[in-house]
Amino acid sequence: MTPFRFLVRFAIFVLLFCVVAEGWLRYVTPASQLPLYRQNPKTLVYSVDPHAQRNGLSTIGRIPRRLGTWHVNDAGWLSPYHYSRRQPGHALVALFGDSYVAGLYSPVAQHIDVDLHKRLGQAVPVYAFGTDGWYLEQYVAMTRFVRATYDPSLIVILVAQGDVHASLSGDDMPYWYHLVRSGSGYREVPPSQVYVASKKIRLARESALFRYLRYNAHLHIPFVRGNDVEGAPTNADADAGTPQSETESAERPLVEAVAPVARFLVQRLCADNPGVSILIAARGSRYLPVRAVGSTPLPPDMEALREACAGHAQCYFLDLRMAFSVDWARHHVRFEATDSSHFNGYANAVAAHAIGDYIIAHHLLAARP
């Protein structure tokens, strides 16, 4: 066989393989689909592009397993609801968070904002603002945009360990807000770059084979540079599903190390949203024995936030560990999604009901004019 004929046959083989693989990864074992992100150059708001794909399926692994589904609304957020400004005299809840609120790990109908909306009633809209890897300073900055655009009557922020100290590490997150030390305090720094998905990335994402190699197999693709496809770095502090030891200490020096940042962020959050109640809900461990929840300290970032929140009348703090511990003791239904880290639909419902019960018990839905 001549080299030319070999190359021709090899090219035909590669072409046929790609055609078969494209069909297989599109219809049989689907490659993961992730939302395409954008950033408004004027407001610097980082969200999903509603002019790109509006619905998708998230999968995981080289043999793709289904994680969840997602839907992008007209405003560019992962939510099944249409967002509009709050009507005077009515309540509206704005829910902020990272990948747990984005909800790519459970079906749309089981996202935490959907469950919270059901718990609070049809008359109380719940708008979700969440993106993988976001941290507290980004939430603080986003509340200003959400307040000006939608005028919520209640702000709920789902936080985890790492949300405070990550707010100071913005060098590798040029599309988000972060803090820097300034004298004896801190100063907010806006995004240093504006994210725009290139045409070649938009075109490449149409291929199921490309998505499989990038998202499922996690292969490096030469012309893909970091955020060009994924949109944002993923936060590494996702809560583990393993139990926290009863003797584990919050290590007071670590709490005190992040306390000034926590106080600054909470003070800024309250000052930017006068007259609006703010509920900080901390995720924490999921499988503590019920009797051990009260004696097991929160991780440092969460404990610092709890203490900072206590100094502001409009700020409330909810430790979600008890809700999960009680539910686990009663039902023994696991809380992890297929990726073994994030909430599954059942855990979303547990968290949403705990948050909803707290909101109702503390009368946080009082309508604003």
Q: How far apart are CA 117 and CA 352, in angstroms?
A: 9
The tokens for 152 are: 């919520």
The pLDDT value recorded for residue 29 is: 94
Confidence grade of residue 234 (pLDDT, cut at 50, 70, 90): very low
The pLDDT value recorded for residue 329 is: 97
Mean pLDDT of 71-87: 96
Residue 368 pLDDT greater than 70, yes or no: no
Q: What are the distances in angstroms from CA 100 to CA 1, 207, 220, 325? A: 57, 27, 26, 19
Residue 83: which of 140, 23, 127, 141 has the closest Cα? Answer: 127
Cβ neighbours of 46 (radius 10 Å): 24
Cβ neighbours of 90 (radius 10 Å): 14
The tokens for 247 are: 């003797």
Least confident interval from 136-145, 169-178, 272-281, 287-296: 169-178
Residue 181 pLDDT greater than 80, yes or no: yes
Residue 61: which of 29, 28, 101, 27 has the closest Cα? Answer: 29
Cβ neighbours of 30 (radius 10 Å): 19
Q: How far apart are CA 197 and CA 207, in angstroms?
A: 16
Name the phi and psi angles at 277, rounded to 5: -70, 145
Q: Give this prediction's pTM.
A: 0.91
Name the phi and psi angles at 338, rounded to 5: -60, -25
Residue 8 pLDDT greater than 90, yes or no: no
The pLDDT value recorded for residue 232 is: 45
The tokens for 277 are: 């109640």
Residue 70 pLDDT greater than 80, yes or no: yes
Q: Answer whether CATH 3.40.50.1110 is correct for domain 77-195+233-361.
A: yes
H or E stretch at 20:
helix 3-23
Domain ranges of the chain: 77-195+233-361
Residue 261 pLDDT greater than 80, yes or no: yes
Express each pLDDT in 129-157 by its tens digit.
Answer: 999 989 999 999 999 999 999 999 999 99
Of residues 344 and 245, more confidently modeled: 344
The pLDDT value recorded for residue 151 is: 96
The tokens for 343 are: 């909430």
Name the phi and psi angles at 299, rounded to 5: -60, 160
Beta-strand pair 37-39/46-48:
antiparallel
Least confident interval from 135-144, 176-185, 317-326: 176-185
Mean pLDDT of the chain: 89
Of residues 368 and 360, more confidently modeled: 360
Express each pLDDT in 97-125 by its tens digit.
Answer: 999 999 999 999 999 999 999 999 999 99
Residue-wise over 100-131: b if at least 16 C-beta within 10 A, else e? Answer: bbbbbbbbbebbbbbbbbebbeeebbbbbbbb
Residues whose CB is less than 8 angstroms from the CB of residue 220 and which lie 6 or more positions away in sequence, other chains included? none
The tokens for 295 are: 């004696």
What angle do the packed helices 112-120 and 345-361 form, to 10 degrees?
A: 40
First to last CA, the chain: 83
* Share above pLDDT 70 across residues of the chain, in percent, rounded to a whole number: 91
Burial class (CB within 10 angstroms; exposed 0-12, middle 13-18, buried 19+) of 9? exposed
Report H helices in 251-337: 252-272, 290-293, 300-309, 321-331
